[in-house]
Amino acid sequence: MSALFSPLKIKNIELKNRIVVSPMCEYSSVDGFANDWHLVHLGSFATGGAGLIITEAAAVSPEGRITFADLGIYKDEHIEKLKQITDFIKAQGAVAGMQLAHAGRKASHEQPWVGGKQIASDQPNGWKTVSASDVPFTDTEEAPIALDKAGIEKVKADFKAATVRAIAAGFEVIELHGAHGYLINQFLSPFSNKRTDEYGGSFENRIRLLLEIIEEVKQVWPSENLLFVRISATEWVEGGWTADDSVALAKILKDKGVDLIDCSTGGNIPNVKIPLTPGYQVEFAAKVKKESAILTGAVGLITEPHQADDIVKNEQADLVFLAREMLRDPHFALRAAHELGADAKWPVQYERAKWSK
């Protein structure tokens, strides 16, 4: 039997296979609202056989958006369209997840296809960003405002309120975005966190915001639902966040009730050389899984069915997250099942196209 197509039951939620659609920003919203693009985009992965489909980063506040066109979950009016999307995903036998995010100092940007540069705070579609410290991402960007205690409390409250909305919208998995140089990651990293209070300095202090956000989220998130955290398992530079830090964090998160660590890397320090080879981040998912005994997800240049199957078979990760390959082929899971000799349920509308064994 294909390991990739073995079901995985976590608590009372069963994923029909180990294939996860990784969060991928679409930069196609107005004021945070999902629309028909998101319905078709995410719905195609559901008809394509993926076990878990996670939305793009959904900003927990307007100032938490990467761009003015990001998906959001910062107002109750966002719920209606998201509920339509989760209903469709569930009708195809998949599980719907939402990534909750705050971009911090990497907010207030143009859409990538028009250059992606930061928009000055005094320009249309721009705003003042916030972070752990007043350290800009690059020398050409505005310095963010270092969050004070009131600002930190607002961030925590925003994540909590977004979680309540995610429940109403029908999501059964939420993933807290603690990677890629966004706000939580900015607190974790000694490169972006220069604070001298209880949120800065030591490892214990730098992880404090993430732990407090988890505490707030768990007050409202149903115990039977799943809580993931995405981390950048290494910053790829000396003196930065390390794989050993990730293991130490994962052990704490497991004790706090986190169900899975989604192991990505980088994103908080510009111009870092990263060895972009197939599956280049799998080793971190394997290390965190082995040394902290928590479920992990592997992501990053995973493009082939046998490659994905081997990751699960060799116990390097429990779930395989795919992004660009899903854009190329939203029906990757159906193709992978055929190539691996596994059974996969096709939508009845598509059964005439099934490959013969």
Model confidence over 151-172: pLDDT tens digits? 999 999 999 999 999 999 999 9
**What is the reported pLDDT for 301?**
96
| Cα–Cα distance measured from residue 222 to residue 227, given in angstroms and rounded to the nearest whole number | 10
**What is the reported pLDDT for 35?**
98
**What is the reported pLDDT for 176?**
98
**What is the reported pLDDT for 242?**
97
**What is the reported pLDDT for 4?**
98
| Cα–Cα distance measured from residue 318 to residue 137, given in angstroms and rounded to the nearest whole number | 33
pTM above 0.85, yes or no: yes
Active-site positions read 182
Per DSSP, which regions of 156-211 are E strands?
173-178
Tell me which residues of the chain have a pLDDT lower than 50.
none
**What is the reported pLDDT for 1?**
81
**What is the reported pLDDT for 310?**
98
Per the structure block, which two tokens stand in for 335?
């193709």
**What is the reported pLDDT for 356?**
81
Cross-strand partners of 178: 231
